[in-house]
Homo-oligomer: A and B are copies of this chain.
Amino acid sequence: MHAKDLPEIRHLPLFRDMRQASFDTLMDKAYAQSFPMGLELIRQGDPADFLHVVMEGSVELYAHWAGHESTMAVVHPVGTFILAACVRDQPYLMSARTLERSRIILIPASDLRVTFRQDPDFAVSVVTELAGCYRAVIRHTKGLKLRNSRERIAAWFWRQAAQRGNLASFVLPVEKRFLASYLGMTPENLSRSLKSLEADGVKVDGSRVIITDRARLEALVQPDPLIDGA
């Protein structure tokens, strides 16, 4: 556990408002570890031992059943994952693997559970964080059910651009096959849709995305804060 990580972790909404003493004891039990690319950090069904914080790299959360696999989320720095399993002391619902070499902070779930029972400010932060996670999944599921695959891709691009201050061009932060799976389609389907989206104001060349016609894209996306986020 490196001292230089502490300010960054402390700055996260989840840890921002807790008592310094609680934060210190929690961090005291935590440790950092670096993992190579492609390593399975968590297997779905395993007991929830640690809250994970991604400091560097990126982590895919994915689900599998009957030989099928689906990307549920990709976590980038600085972000946490599987808080819900930790607080309920129940098995993980998703597996996790590193998408690149990653540095992860591991916070023992048992200490977490003790801490939010002792520090009311932290409890409030956990409540707020979990409510936010819940709402994020609901929004994603709404997108899956209400939009077709072309619209989902367009909406994802629109959102990415918006998060970068409406930048007209950016590089994909994940490989296309994970994006495809996250958006609930096959890589082939994504590939074909990308080509057809040139007519709707997005051009994709390799991993570079260029919004060529923002108005046209927006007409297709019909952005909705209750799906795409504020």
B-contacting residues, A186-230, CB 8 Å? 222, 224-227
**A94-B138 CB under 8 A given contacts A88-B131, A126-B127, A146-B70:** yes
Report chain B residues within 8 Å CB of A65: 142, 146-147, 222, 224, 226-227
| Contact indicator A70/B127 (Cβ below 8 Å) | no
A142 and B69 CA atoms in complex are apart in Å by 10
Interface of chain A, main secondary structure? helix
- The answer, yes or no, to whether A130 is at the interface (CB within 8 Å) is yes
| Best-surrounded residue of A63, A127, A141 (most CB of chain B within 10 A) | A127
A52 within 8 A of B: no
A19: interface (CB < 8 Å): no
Tally of A interface residues using CB under 8 Å: 48
Residues of chain B within 8 A (CB-CB) of A132 are 84, 88
- When C-beta atoms are compared, the residue in chain B nearest to A141 turns out to be B141
Instruction: Find out whether the CB atom of A124 lies under 8 angstroms from the CB atom of B131.
Output: no
- Please tell me which stretch of A2-10, A26-34, A96-104, A115-123 contacts chain B, meaning at least 4 of its Cβ atoms lie within 8 angstroms of it: A115-123
Q: List 16 A-B pairs, Cβ < 8 Å.
A: A45-B226, A65-B146, A70-B142, A72-B141, A72-B142, A84-B131, A84-B132, A88-B131, A88-B132, A88-B135, A116-B123, A123-B124, A130-B131, A130-B134, A134-B137, A141-B141
Q: Which residues of A contact B (CB under 8 A)?
A: 44-45, 63-66, 68, 70, 72, 83-85, 87-88, 90-91, 93-94, 116-117, 120, 123-124, 126-128, 130-135, 137-142, 144-147, 184, 222, 224-227
